[in-house]
Structure 1
């Protein structure tokens, strides 16, 4: 059974200021922090040279790279970068998804202080998203770009802003002007690799990570070595079992995001672990590949989003062999992106007890791209979802409470970005006069009398709005509530009502679910009409309205959108989330119809 020493006990210090501001910090000191990511690579190449570091699917099995081979290849590629005159002022744009060569190139660049800028592969593969790709290229100004397959990414490579950029590809195909990644592996003995490596330190830029662009054009978040290295110490302080045995994950989360590319990738590297790249995803048509990969390899840690866990729970319930393998060595179930539904949480608890007689730590954390990302974590075991925990070691939170003790959150710590790439104006706007990062997120105490019980995420301050009555609506929390009430009909929702009398919903339906249930839909210029479906939604809205009070939570109307959200129109971010402002702008006509009681597509109660 688990020991108390497997988890860091919460111990929080609080400082109350005269203006009502609250400062929170952990009483535990931050552990030792290495100088750069290459310190980890050198350590494990000596200590565990034959341990698999990273693996990807190859035919019926896996292509694997151990720590010794990874270090050798990283040094070879790093010397090739130096021979091309690359350094801190010549970033590398990475245009394709997770892969061994992607990982080696990233570590090689970090080895000699060359920043990388990984962007969502959708920006390259979806023609309508090429404007996002152009924006990233123009902002970053890369000297080199990498793709896994030149044929697959050929249309994106023809974008004019890449004309003067050397393109590296693992598979060049018929593109003679593209350099093979194999060429970089030959290295170059004419450069002083060790001298360049010695100059990399905590302030060196490791990555430029693009924000999702949910409220404005994507910004380039400067990610330094200090941020990444400090964050891994924070995580290992909070989860001591990471240091007790090398962790192992089978993980699909994309490396252009801070969670997959910094949190998970570096967690394996920092602790001598193994990362098996899952080339599946929790979507229909690709989840079967995830199950195939899990039948071959399972992890000591599991990272996923709630929809992924819902799909996985169903698969585990129907496959006893997979269930036994999945739980056998499992130390952690970590969810991110949204709160894990309690029935899914309970399902995993029950299954874990049946399989191994104990429950892995089930938890989440809170943070941003700008915080590397982990800033708060629930490191003590609990039996419910939705709690993001307490400040991690080395972090200070500044909380600005309102009259209901809902707190705006600001952050200071070694994991916080120094700013945005080539954007001093937005950098200045991002910090207050004490140097705290203004996150725009809100939190609530689980129990204001016991800080060690942690906090719960309570939405984005910027998503809140006022009705005409002056009543504030907490849109993020309401959206999550309504997704539960309208499951499985609603795939996603935009909450409306700013400067109006009532709260409304723009519903993006689950098209497959509607077909499965046999609804006969009529597309009325962007909105579905269907008496049975509209009646079912009206019934659910009325049932919920009978259980809540006050105009700040009562949803009075809805409309069902017939056109899915579009990435090319900017309605979907690189993370796959809705850009709420863009949806409201692009569908202004439908928003007006939502508040027209005479419109046949409008559902009102």
Structure 2
């Protein structure tokens, strides 16, 4: 592919104000004008290019398509149906099921008529046994309508949030009393839709995105139309090619999460692009379906999280034909949600250089559910490995010195006004100058040259002290362990008020089978696994002080529990909940004398932990 005349990246320009223990960073480029609401974006592109593809979804061996023009008309019809049933700013739409064309049309109908959308993580419906989280969300928000693609798998969740006067909508299957999606789409749109559309403002609530806090209890982040539209304007200014090159995505990232729903889908809406909904997850079993879609569609931009990139790297390295197809018109690869392991970053960089006939940068960014989501993005090539870029136009970052790190706070039009129904929590989340406390730490790639960008430096809330008073940077140490070990799916670093640092961890069975062979799961007492982990700990600890050493490791066989709050809505671990729940594992980890079953740097002996006991009293 020969790149077009439009530059992929804008020239990075940052203004720095150094106040000693506080540093302010902002883009030298002012934020430009942007659409006031998501409904305006839909209508703009629906009128300009009604026959262009907005969304496609796998169906009967092919792709079912939704054009921009059809989406505009369907949204008006669904919006009218919602108004007819009393939905509005105080009676939102709850969506239980995952990404689909019907999900998209329901959301667009709500955006058009000013109905807030609550896209709930499918894990709360499908992986939960007690449905406590979706019950809590429904009790807090009082949705007027609940949508699920299929009442079969979502039947128990629909039962959990059923209430008098609450309308249920399903796209397929049978459920007593439920309205069919097709009936909503056939509703004639009347003047009520235009009146409702005219009343939607940038301050109107577009979405309530529920994210798990440190306690595992969901909190509803208010996302306004102005937040989301301003964020896409900022993205367009640092990646200017999108204005003339509507992005083509093949994407699986869930719309209940800010990365998939606000950043990726929002980008398609903002720039008149198209999204091919990938129904495969980044697992060894599912990823061949993703490969087939990527090979056929050949996206122009690609977004994923580290788990997805781990699968992609293997596929690109194993199949040069797929690699050439994948990179053929790709402008860049972008990673967010968690840091890519250095070795994985290098593998992706190497295969892109080998297989593509043009530069395909690998870049990263940083943000949160509360920030629309983008705060920073790398927009130069090559960017340093792990660089999260510089502030987007309109964003001001405040870096506050905290011990040896910089706490990152942010202000700008993409910042949430707060948490729905939780004014106390909202007040705690902003400092006296109105900056949002992200809870994250950042540092400069090069302290002498801010233009080289920032690096994510972990979550401040994960840090703890050993009994010696030495601070442990748990986020950094976890990343180092996962990179060194190579066969771990995830880990939790522990040791607060203990004599040394330990870790609880889960094996990545896909990687383990690839390394040790066989079709069945690798046993946690496998000699090769134990030896490799012991050597990894030795390598990790070489030359390090107590805060950067992991002296013991316990493997867990029971997966993290979403009902117990160990897994967040994003699929990441809730460190505090894991430590509270895994009392028996912690007792073994820090027991004296050490268990002979444990992996330590100088001997390969593994503990297999099953069902946990309650956490030890403080």
TM-score over 0.5 (shorter chain)? yes
CA deviations on 1:388-410 (whole Å, 9 max, x unpaired) are 01111001111102453x21011
Q: Is 1:453 the equivalent of 2:452?
A: yes
**Candidates 14, 17, 36, aligned match of 1:15:** 17
Tell me what 1:413 maps to.
Answer: 412
With over 3 angstroms needed to count, the CA separation of the structure-2 counterparts of 1:529 and 1:592, relative to structure 1, is farther
SS of 1:73 mapped into structure 2: helix
Tell me what 1:567 maps to.
Answer: 562
With over 3 angstroms needed to count, the CA separation of the structure-2 counterparts of 1:194 and 1:532, relative to structure 1, is closer
How many residues get paired? 596
**1:73-222 pair list within 5 angstroms:** 73-128=74-129, 130-159=131-160, 161-162=162-163, 164-171=165-172, 173-189=173-189, 191-222=191-222
CA deviations on 1:541-595 (whole Å, 9 max, x unpaired) are 123322x321110111111212222223221122111111111111112101111
**Candidates 540, 544, 566, aligned match of 1:544:** 540
Following the alignment from structure 2 to structure 1, what is the Cα–Cα distance between the partners of residues 576 and 202? 37
Following the alignment from structure 2 to structure 1, what is the Cα–Cα distance between the partners of residues 214 and 100? 27
Q: Is 1:555 the equivalent of 2:550?
A: yes
SS of 1:223 mapped into structure 2: strand
Contact residue 459 and residue 474 of structure 1 kept, 8 A: yes
How far has the Cα of 1:530 moved from its partner?
A: 6.0
Following the alignment from structure 1 to structure 2, what is the Cα–Cα distance between the partners of residues 170 and 92? 15
SS of 2:269 mapped into structure 1: helix
CA deviations on 1:7-60 (whole Å, 9 max, x unpaired) are 111111112336x21111111111111111122112111221111011111111
How far has the Cα of 1:292 moved from its partner?
A: 2.2
How far has the Cα of 1:512 moved from its partner?
A: 5.2
Q: Is 1:389 the equivalent of 2:385?
A: no
Contact residue 31 and residue 393 of structure 2 kept, 8 A: yes
Tell me what 2:244 maps to.
Answer: 244
Following the alignment from structure 2 to structure 1, what is the Cα–Cα distance between the partners of residues 205 and 114? 7
SS of 1:106 mapped into structure 2: helix
Tell me what 1:6 maps to.
Answer: 8
Contact residue 396 and residue 413 of structure 1 kept, 8 A: yes
**1:254-273 pair list within 5 angstroms:** 254-273=254-273
Contact residue 560 and residue 601 of structure 1 kept, 8 A: no
Tell me what 2:499 maps to.
Answer: 501
Tell me what 2:615 maps to.
Answer: none
Following the alignment from structure 2 to structure 1, what is the Cα–Cα distance between the partners of residues 357 and 526? 49
How far has the Cα of 1:500 moved from its partner?
A: 0.5
With over 3 angstroms needed to count, the CA separation of the structure-2 counterparts of 1:287 and 1:182, relative to structure 1, is same
Tell me what 2:341 maps to.
Answer: 341
With over 3 angstroms needed to count, the CA separation of the structure-2 counterparts of 1:60 and 1:534, relative to structure 1, is closer
Following the alignment from structure 1 to structure 2, what is the Cα–Cα distance between the partners of residues 127 and 342? 34
With over 3 angstroms needed to count, the CA separation of the structure-2 counterparts of 1:533 and 1:186, relative to structure 1, is closer
How far has the Cα of 1:532 moved from its partner?
A: 5.7
With over 3 angstroms needed to count, the CA separation of the structure-2 counterparts of 1:500 and 1:166, relative to structure 1, is same
With over 3 angstroms needed to count, the CA separation of the structure-2 counterparts of 1:4 and 1:553, relative to structure 1, is farther
What 5-or-longer segments of structure 1 have no aligned partner? none
**Candidates 545, 562, 571, aligned match of 1:576:** 571
SS of 2:451 mapped into structure 1: helix
CA deviations on 1:163-186 (whole Å, 9 max, x unpaired) are 542110111x23131100111112
Contact residue 363 and residue 383 of structure 2 kept, 8 A: no
Contact residue 284 and residue 311 of structure 2 kept, 8 A: no
How far has the Cα of 1:189 moved from its partner?
A: 4.9
What 5-or-longer segments of structure 2 have no aligned partner? 602-618
How far has the Cα of 1:411 moved from its partner?
A: 0.5
TM-score, normalised with respect to structure 2: 0.92
**1:47-58 pair list within 5 angstroms:** 47-58=48-59
Following the alignment from structure 1 to structure 2, what is the Cα–Cα distance between the partners of residues 482 and 155? 39
Tell me what 2:461 maps to.
Answer: 462
Contact residue 92 and residue 142 of structure 1 kept, 8 A: yes
CA deviations on 1:338-384 (whole Å, 9 max, x unpaired) are 22234433444444344443222321110000001010111111254
Contact residue 83 and residue 188 of structure 1 kept, 8 A: no
Tell me what 2:281 maps to.
Answer: 281
SS of 1:249 mapped into structure 2: strand
TM-score, normalised with respect to structure 1: 0.94
Following the alignment from structure 2 to structure 1, what is the Cα–Cα distance between the partners of residues 315 and 538? 34
Tell me what 1:439 maps to.
Answer: 438
How far has the Cα of 1:385 moved from its partner?
A: 2.4
Contact residue 40 and residue 270 of structure 1 kept, 8 A: yes
Contact residue 79 and residue 109 of structure 2 kept, 8 A: yes
With over 3 angstroms needed to count, the CA separation of the structure-2 counterparts of 1:122 and 1:433, relative to structure 1, is same
